[in-house]
Amino acid sequence: MELKGKTVLVVDDEIDLCEIIATELRVFGASPLSAQSVDHALKIIASQKIDLVISDIRMPGASGIELLNVIRRTRVDLPVVLITGYADISVAEALAWGAEAVVNKPFDLDALFELCERLVKPLTQRWMREFQLTSTKVIGEENLSYGRGGFFVKNNEGPLPKTGALFQVTVDRGSRPDKTFEVVCRWARPERKDQPEGWGAEIQAWDADTAKQGWEHEGKIPFIPLK
């Protein structure tokens, strides 16, 4: 179990929900901590080694989005999952601001902890697994904008993919070696006045040749950029 021995900070003004999540985290061998406000959460983060943050968005005082912004000023390596029962923020916006995921209430605890098990791994270690697909689509790198955990794909032809769709993508890098990933579509957006049509791809896996080339985008704040 990847969560074993990890310290997970749960931030929510609902004490009962914090306790439910904390109880389940202990089953996975994690060491949960809880905070009922952003100020309390920041004090914990400043004083202890935290491996993962799960934060509600809407709380009295500062919000989970503000917590995310403060964390990302100094740390991009600390995974943050935002949970919400409202339409506070789109998935695209949350990932662009640096969150790894947005989970809507009510949520399935098993699905939440499956996500947490993946996120406590170092970023590129999450991608060391077998591909589920065999066919690939080739995308020119000029149509991509890279984030820490994936990329925005400018859609120049055909329909936009559906959220949750899985693709194997080979990035044509011109004179440099291609890179091949398995990605999942996290969001798709038609063209807007200030933003091109496109979709957000989160990397799920990479092939051995791509892994040898490394990943030069780990220091970026956006997990997936908006454009």
- pLDDT tens digits along 8-54: 999 999 999 999 999 999 999 999 999 999 999 999 999 999 999 99
Question: DSSP 3-state assignment of 36?
Answer: coil
pLDDT of 88 reads 77
Q: Are residues 81 and 135 in the same domain?
A: no
pLDDT of 135 reads 83
Are residues 17 and 47 in contact, defined by beta-carbon separation less than 8 angstroms? no
Question: DSSP 3-state assignment of 143?
Answer: helix
Number of H helices, E strands in the chain: 6, 11
> Looking at the 3D structure of the chain, how many domains does it have?
2
Beta strands (DSSP E) in 100-189 are: 101-104, 137-140, 144-146, 150-154, 166-172, 179-189
- CATH number for the domain spanning 157: value is 2.40.10
Bridging pattern class, strands 198-206 and 144-146: unpaired
Q: Are residues 156 and 54 in the same domain?
A: no
Assess if residue 205 is contained within a domain.
yes
Question: DSSP 3-state assignment of 208?
Answer: helix
pLDDT of 86 reads 80
pLDDT of 111 reads 93
Rounded to two decimals, the pTM is 0.94
Q: Are residues 114 and 132 in the same domain?
A: no
